[in-house]
Amino acid sequence: MEIFKIVGLGIIATILTIVVKQYKPEYGVHISIAAGVMIFLMIAGKLVSVFEVINQLTDKLEIDLVYVKSIFKIIGIAYISEFGAQICRDSGEEAIAFKVELGGKIIIMVLALPILLSVFNLITKLML
């Protein structure tokens, strides 16, 4: 199972980070980033199959692809900003982590506006 590889890599990276931080604290962040990238690469193939299934569903249901792309972008931004914020927290920079999360949330709001406007237009049409 893939999850055992992911958890194993996470545990090894955590132990390695703890040991290395005793001698060279600045390298702990590098190990954390490397582990995060490796885990992402391990699951990237799984994401492709999810995108393919969702594309097939949108074709069958005749959903506008613009909305689906926006939702994928929003999900991606959420994950990336959370990853960046966690790296900042690992480095002891809580204030910067908060700003990274805030930036991600604002970008998500901007990307969600077209979907929100579409929902409001649909509600207005249904009410009239």
Q: Along the 128 residues of the chain, how does pLDDT read in single tens digits?
A: 889 999 999 999 999 988 998 888 888 888 988 998 899 889 888 888 888 888 888 888 887 878 888 888 999 999 999 989 998 898 889 999 999 999 999 999 999 998 899 889 989 988 87
Here the tokens at position 82 are: 């959370």
Question: What is this structure's pTM?
Answer: 0.75
Determine the Cα–Cα distance for residues 114 and 9; give it in Å rounded to an integer.
Answer: 39
Taken in order 49, 79, 10, 40, is the CA torsion positive or negative?
positive
∠59-63-69 over CA atoms, to 5°? 95
Helix (H, G, I), strand (E, B) or coil at 97: helix
